[in-house]
Amino acid sequence: MDSKCKVLYIDDEKINLLVFMKVMEAKFDVLVALSGAEGLEILEKEPDVTHVISDMKMPEMSGLEFVHEASKTFPDKRFYLLSGFAIDDEIQEALDSKLIISYFTKPADYNKIEKVLVENN
* Range list of H helices, the chain: 14-24, 36-45, 63-73, 89-96, 110-119
Restricting to residues 4-23, which ones interact with another protein according to CB under 8 A? 13, 15-16, 18-20, 22-23
Site for another protein contains 108 (CB under 8 A): yes
Pair 34, 59: CB distance under 8 Å: no
Site for another protein contains 90 (CB under 8 A): no
* Choice between 85 and 93, CB closer to another protein: 85
- Give the list of residues 6+ apart from residue 70 with CB closer than 8 angstroms, or none: 36, 39, 40, 43, 52, 77, 79
Site for another protein contains 105 (CB under 8 A): yes
Can you give the binding site for another protein, defined by CB under 8 A? 13, 15-16, 18-20, 22-23, 26, 57-60, 83-86, 105-108, 110
